[in-house]
Amino acid sequence: MSARDAFIVMRCGCGTVHKVGGRGGFYDVAWTPAPRDGQLAKRSKAKRTVVAEYVDKHAPRLTKRLTTIFARIARDVAAAAQKQLEHRGLEAKHTGKLVSSVRLTKDDLVNAVLRELELEGYEDEVIRAVRPLIEEAFRDAGMYGLEQVGVDVTAEAKKNLFETAKAFAEERAAELVGKRVVAGELIDNPDPRWAITETTRDGLRDLVTNAIDQGDSPKELADAIEEAYAFSESRAEMIARTELAYAHVQGNVEAWRESEVVEMKQSILGDNHDDEDECDDAADEGPIALEDDFEMGEFGPPYHPNCVCALIPIVAEQPAADVAGEEVAA
């Protein structure tokens, strides 16, 4: 089972606890401050990785794009929710069905409101915002990866890498809005657990349900939506940092494949870890085959949102210690 599927309550090494509901999506809820009872001293094996350097430099651009989109979605969805709750609530009252005391009626009301809160109109915006920066991260990491193992960047290798970066970015951007690319067309993804739109819908359902349970007014529901974590700058930053980290790692690995000299990979800790988590488990495994998964079920970082761990290449007949220092060069 992948670590992404196994999250319930887990402590991140950077000092946070991720609490995930039953749906288990990668971006379901916020990361909140962790209790410090299990804090460890920062370990000497944690390093300032190239992934961290890249994310720190480039994530603000993607964060700004996503924050702008999220704010617009929040305003539109809040207005639609207020309108629908006013209409449906009055309709329920008119027919004599008390929402607070009839379970089925409450569910009907929640579903009626949610049907009007469509996010599909924003999918293209999200894709346009994230795709070029994901492609850039993959491409930059790939070029670095070839240099990292001492392989000349030929015109053919560069062409192959750039084509793969484009395809990767198209696929990953689609996944973030619950889609996949088939024959150049976007279709619904039957397994959208990593989609930010899917987890946003889940959050909206909880907000609408809670508002009805608590007897909130339509205006109070609208205010809660606009202030929700789902549309916040902090969520936009978490998504931006995690997606760029993922693209960077994947670009590295693609370059190592292209080089044909890398046999194994090794996971190293980023420098934002104070507490042990699955990142330590991967790092403690040492070198494994390039195409293998680590024991917790992940191919490589990021192992959780905001993770800046990285992989280092193990070239044929070259000990891990000989290359471990090369990864951290900015």
pTM value surpassing 0.95: no
State pLDDT tens for residues 195-224.
787 778 778 888 888 888 888 888 998 999
State pLDDT tens for residues 147-171.
988 888 888 889 999 999 999 999 9
pLDDT for the residue 243? 95
State pLDDT tens for residues 115-140.
766 666 788 899 999 999 999 999 99
Which position has the higher pLDDT, 104 or 246? 246
3-state secondary structure the chain: CCHHHHCCEEEECCCEEEECCCCCCCCCCCEEECCCCCCCCCCCCCCCCHHHHHHHHHHHHHHHHHHHHHHHHHHHHHHHHHHHHHHHHHHHHHCCCCCCCCHHHHHHHHHHHHHCCCCHHHHHHHHHHHHHHHHHHHHHHHHHHHHHCCCCCCHHHHHHHHHHHHHHHHHHHHHHCCEEEECCEEEECCCCCCCHHHHHHHHHHHHHHHHHHHCCCHHHHHHHHHCCHHHCHHHHHHHHHHHHHHHHHHHHHHHHHHHCCEEEEEEECCCCCCCCCHHHHHHHHCCEECCCCCCCCCCCCCCCCCCCCEEEEEECCCCHHHHCCCCCCC
Residue 101: pLDDT band with limits 50, 70, 90 = very low
